[in-house]
Protein backbone atom coordinates (compact mmCIF):
# COMPACT_ATOMS: atom_id res chain seq x y z
CA UNK A 1 0.00 0.00 0.00
CA UNK A 2 1.43 3.36 -1.03
CA UNK A 3 1.58 6.22 1.45
CA UNK A 4 2.27 9.54 -0.27
CA UNK A 5 6.01 9.52 0.53
CA UNK A 6 8.09 10.55 -2.50
CA UNK A 7 11.77 9.59 -2.52
CA UNK A 8 14.59 11.61 -4.06
CA UNK A 9 17.34 9.20 -5.09
CA UNK A 10 20.54 11.24 -5.35
CA UNK A 11 22.65 9.76 -8.15
CA UNK A 12 24.40 12.82 -9.59
CA UNK A 13 27.70 12.68 -7.74
CA UNK A 14 31.06 13.08 -9.46
CA UNK A 15 32.55 9.80 -8.15
CA UNK A 16 35.81 11.78 -7.93
CA UNK A 17 37.22 9.67 -5.09
CA UNK A 18 36.52 6.47 -7.03
CA UNK A 19 38.03 7.72 -10.31
CA UNK A 20 35.18 6.25 -12.37
CA UNK A 21 31.40 6.10 -12.21
CA UNK A 22 30.92 4.06 -9.06
CA UNK A 23 27.21 3.56 -9.70
CA UNK A 24 28.06 1.35 -12.70
CA UNK A 25 30.41 -0.96 -10.79
CA UNK A 26 29.09 -4.52 -10.46
CA UNK A 27 27.87 -5.64 -7.07
CA UNK A 28 26.46 -9.14 -6.64
CA UNK A 29 23.77 -9.51 -9.32
CA UNK A 30 23.41 -5.82 -10.19
CA UNK A 31 25.39 -2.58 -9.78
CA UNK A 32 26.13 -0.27 -6.86
CA UNK A 33 23.66 2.31 -8.13
CA UNK A 34 20.87 -0.12 -8.90
CA UNK A 35 20.97 -1.95 -5.57
CA UNK A 36 19.29 0.59 -3.28
CA UNK A 37 17.03 1.72 -6.13
CA UNK A 38 15.63 -1.80 -6.40
CA UNK A 39 15.10 -1.84 -2.65
CA UNK A 40 13.29 1.49 -2.71
CA UNK A 41 11.01 0.32 -5.52
CA UNK A 42 10.08 -2.78 -3.52
CA UNK A 43 9.00 -0.65 -0.57
CA UNK A 44 5.78 1.26 0.13
CA UNK A 45 7.21 4.52 -1.20
CA UNK A 46 4.74 6.26 -3.51
CA UNK A 47 7.33 7.13 -6.18
CA UNK A 48 11.10 7.45 -6.58
CA UNK A 49 12.74 10.37 -8.40
CA UNK A 50 16.20 9.42 -9.67
CA UNK A 51 18.26 12.60 -9.93
CA UNK A 52 21.32 12.34 -12.16
CA UNK A 53 23.65 14.64 -14.05
CA UNK A 54 22.66 15.39 -17.65
CA UNK A 55 25.30 13.17 -19.28
CA UNK A 56 24.17 10.08 -17.34
CA UNK A 57 22.64 7.47 -19.67
CA UNK A 58 21.45 5.39 -16.69
CA UNK A 59 23.33 2.32 -17.91
CA UNK A 60 23.80 1.42 -14.23
CA UNK A 61 20.06 0.90 -13.73
CA UNK A 62 19.11 -2.78 -13.92
CA UNK A 63 17.15 -3.49 -17.14
CA UNK A 64 14.31 -5.03 -15.11
CA UNK A 65 13.55 -1.64 -13.57
CA UNK A 66 12.62 -0.25 -17.00
CA UNK A 67 9.86 -2.86 -17.24
CA UNK A 68 6.46 -3.25 -15.58
CA UNK A 69 5.65 -3.03 -12.72
CA UNK A 70 8.76 -1.02 -11.76
CA UNK A 71 8.85 1.42 -14.69
CA UNK A 72 5.80 3.31 -13.41
CA UNK A 73 7.22 3.61 -9.91
CA UNK A 74 10.18 5.87 -10.72
CA UNK A 75 11.08 8.84 -12.91
CA UNK A 76 14.37 10.23 -14.17
CA UNK A 77 15.12 13.83 -13.22
CA UNK A 78 18.10 15.58 -14.84
CA UNK A 79 20.09 18.12 -12.82
CA UNK A 80 21.85 20.49 -15.24
CA UNK A 81 24.09 21.98 -12.55
CA UNK A 82 24.93 18.80 -10.64
CA UNK A 83 28.63 19.73 -10.76
CA UNK A 84 27.94 22.50 -8.24
CA UNK A 85 27.25 19.98 -5.50
CA UNK A 86 24.70 17.79 -3.80
CA UNK A 87 22.51 20.68 -2.66
CA UNK A 88 21.69 21.47 -6.29
CA UNK A 89 20.74 17.87 -7.07
CA UNK A 90 18.55 17.79 -3.98
CA UNK A 91 16.80 20.99 -4.99
CA UNK A 92 16.14 19.67 -8.51
CA UNK A 93 14.54 16.63 -6.94
CA UNK A 94 12.48 18.81 -4.60
CA UNK A 95 11.05 20.77 -7.53
CA UNK A 96 9.92 17.53 -9.12
CA UNK A 97 8.60 16.09 -5.86
CA UNK A 98 6.46 19.11 -5.05
CA UNK A 99 4.50 18.70 -8.25
CA UNK A 100 3.34 15.35 -6.85
CA UNK A 101 1.80 16.81 -3.68
CA UNK A 102 3.80 14.58 -1.30
CA UNK A 103 2.97 13.87 2.32
CA UNK A 104 6.69 13.57 2.94
CA UNK A 105 9.96 13.51 0.99
CA UNK A 106 12.58 10.83 1.67
CA UNK A 107 16.19 11.49 0.67
CA UNK A 108 18.16 8.42 -0.41
CA UNK A 109 21.76 8.06 -1.61
CA UNK A 110 22.66 5.90 -4.59
CA UNK A 111 25.96 4.81 -3.03
CA UNK A 112 24.39 3.06 -0.02
CA UNK A 113 23.76 -0.26 -1.79
CA UNK A 114 22.91 -2.30 1.29
CA UNK A 115 20.12 -0.11 2.58
CA UNK A 116 17.32 -2.43 3.65
CA UNK A 117 13.63 -2.27 2.96
CA UNK A 118 12.94 -2.65 6.69
CA UNK A 119 14.88 0.56 7.44
CA UNK A 120 12.89 2.46 4.82
CA UNK A 121 9.61 1.11 6.18
CA UNK A 122 10.49 1.84 9.79
CA UNK A 123 11.24 5.48 8.98
CA UNK A 124 7.98 5.78 7.06
CA UNK A 125 6.03 4.32 10.00
CA UNK A 126 7.62 6.72 12.48
CA UNK A 127 7.01 9.68 10.16
CA UNK A 128 3.35 8.79 9.71
CA UNK A 129 2.88 8.70 13.50
CA UNK A 130 4.76 11.93 14.15
CA UNK A 131 3.47 14.21 11.45
CA UNK A 132 3.85 17.35 13.55
CA UNK A 133 7.64 17.23 13.21
CA UNK A 134 9.84 18.66 10.46
CA UNK A 135 11.73 15.43 9.77
CA UNK A 136 12.43 11.84 10.74
CA UNK A 137 16.06 10.84 10.22
CA UNK A 138 18.06 7.66 10.63
CA UNK A 139 21.07 7.66 12.92
CA UNK A 140 23.86 5.13 13.25
CA UNK A 141 26.17 5.38 16.26
CA UNK A 142 24.22 8.57 17.08
CA UNK A 143 25.27 10.24 13.81
CA UNK A 144 22.48 11.33 11.43
CA UNK A 145 22.70 9.61 8.08
CA UNK A 146 20.41 9.15 5.10
CA UNK A 147 17.66 8.10 4.71
CA UNK A 148 15.73 11.04 6.11
CA UNK A 149 12.11 12.06 5.55
CA UNK A 150 11.28 15.76 5.43
CA UNK A 151 7.92 17.42 5.79
CA UNK A 152 7.01 19.47 2.69
CA UNK A 153 6.93 22.59 4.89
CA UNK A 154 10.74 22.32 5.25
CA UNK A 155 11.33 22.75 1.53
CA UNK A 156 11.92 26.54 1.70
CA UNK A 157 14.87 25.92 4.04
CA UNK A 158 16.22 23.09 1.90
CA UNK A 159 16.10 25.33 -1.15
CA UNK A 160 18.54 27.71 0.52
CA UNK A 161 21.33 25.12 0.75
CA UNK A 162 24.34 25.77 -1.45
CA UNK A 163 27.27 23.77 -2.77
CA UNK A 164 28.25 20.23 -1.89
CA UNK A 165 26.32 19.92 1.37
CA UNK A 166 23.60 17.52 2.38
CA UNK A 167 20.25 18.16 3.99
CA UNK A 168 21.42 17.32 7.51
CA UNK A 169 23.17 20.71 7.62
CA UNK A 170 19.84 22.26 8.63
CA UNK A 171 18.81 19.74 11.32
CA UNK A 172 19.70 22.22 14.07
CA UNK A 173 17.18 24.69 12.66
CA UNK A 174 14.36 22.14 12.70
CA UNK A 175 12.34 20.04 15.11
CA UNK A 176 12.27 16.36 14.30
CA UNK A 177 12.91 12.81 15.39
CA UNK A 178 15.95 10.58 15.11
CA UNK A 179 15.66 6.81 14.83
CA UNK A 180 18.75 4.86 15.88
CA UNK A 181 19.67 1.78 13.85
CA UNK A 182 22.26 -0.85 14.73
CA UNK A 183 22.87 -2.47 11.34
CA UNK A 184 26.22 -1.34 9.94
CA UNK A 185 25.34 -2.81 6.57
CA UNK A 186 22.50 -0.34 5.94
CA UNK A 187 24.76 2.69 6.19
CA UNK A 188 27.87 1.47 4.41
CA UNK A 189 28.51 3.84 1.52
CA UNK A 190 31.04 3.17 -1.22
CA UNK A 191 33.18 6.19 -2.06
CA UNK A 192 36.65 4.85 -2.87
CA UNK A 193 38.28 1.87 -4.54
CA UNK A 194 39.27 0.68 -1.08
CA UNK A 195 35.62 0.75 0.01
CA UNK A 196 34.67 -1.24 -3.07
CA UNK A 197 37.46 -3.78 -2.60
CA UNK A 198 36.37 -4.32 1.01
CA UNK A 199 32.87 -5.07 -0.17
CA UNK A 200 34.06 -7.50 -2.85
CA UNK A 201 36.34 -9.21 -0.35
CA UNK A 202 33.77 -9.33 2.41
CA UNK A 203 36.11 -7.48 4.78
CA UNK A 204 33.99 -4.47 5.72
CA UNK A 205 32.27 -4.08 9.09
DSSP string, 145-196: EEEEEE-GGGHHHHTT--SS--GGGGGGGS-EEEEEE--GGGG----SHHHH
pLDDT (0 to 100) of residue 203: 53
pLDDT (0 to 100) of residue 131: 67
- Phi, psi (deg, nearest 5) at residue 91: -65, -35
pLDDT (0 to 100) of residue 15: 65
pLDDT (0 to 100) of residue 205: 47
pLDDT (0 to 100) of residue 115: 96
pLDDT (0 to 100) of residue 151: 95
Q: For the purposes of burial, counting CB atoms within 10 Å of the CB of 154, is it exposed (0-12), middle (13-18) or buried (19 or more)?
A: buried
pLDDT (0 to 100) of residue 17: 67
- Which residues of the chain fall below pLDDT 50? 205
Length of the chain in terms of residues written: 205
Amino acid sequence: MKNGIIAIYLAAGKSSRMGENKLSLPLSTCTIGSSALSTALSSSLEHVLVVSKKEDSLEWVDPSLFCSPYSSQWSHVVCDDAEKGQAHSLQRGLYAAMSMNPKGIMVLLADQPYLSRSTIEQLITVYNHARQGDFVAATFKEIPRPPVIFSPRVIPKLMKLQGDVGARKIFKELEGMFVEFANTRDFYDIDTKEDYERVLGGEWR
